Amino acid sequence: MSNRFVQRGGWWVVGQFLLLFAIAILAITCRDPSKLLPIFIGGLVFLVAAAICGLSGVLTLGRNLTPFPKPSRGTQLVQHGIYSLIRHPLYTAVFCAAAGWSLAWQSWPALAVALVLAVFFDAKARHEERWLRQKFPEYAGYERRVRRFIPWIY
């Protein structure tokens, strides 16, 4: 691995992809045969929320989009659009997609790993926010105004 990969937080990216791969496989291979319609519909709701949140985040970030948690030299702090409601909409979107996928397949092992993914994203976001505070002095005020993953809650 290159030094730049490690410095930009590349191992965080590897970790999230491993967890997502586990969720995808577990959902297909370890599903509940009961197929309850309300749980399936709940999964679809999470998937729709993931699509809306993810698309909004990608469109708002534009050229600032990167898989790495450490901001690059030319990155600008984005505080408008969905970023005025939550600081990490892409992490929220990926978690919602993982939970939705797990619920749609009704795979409780996959849902358990999705919950691990939520804890992982919380740790990754905290790490990323340290770098953002170093790069952008105004980030501290942004943190006080805007929640991390769920508007007005968390």
* 35-90 pLDDT per residue, tens: 899 999 999 999 999 999 999 999 999 999 999 999 988 899 999 999 999 999 99
At residue 1 the predicted structure's pLDDT band, cuts being 50, 70 and 90, is: low
* 90-101 pLDDT per residue, tens: 999 999 999 999
pLDDT for residue 2: 80
Tokens of 73: 């030299």
Helix (H, G, I), strand (E, B) or coil at 86: strand
pTM of the model: 0.94
The number of beta carbons lying within 10 Å of the beta carbon of residue 94 is: 22
* Gap between the Cα atoms of 59 and 68, Å rounded: 17
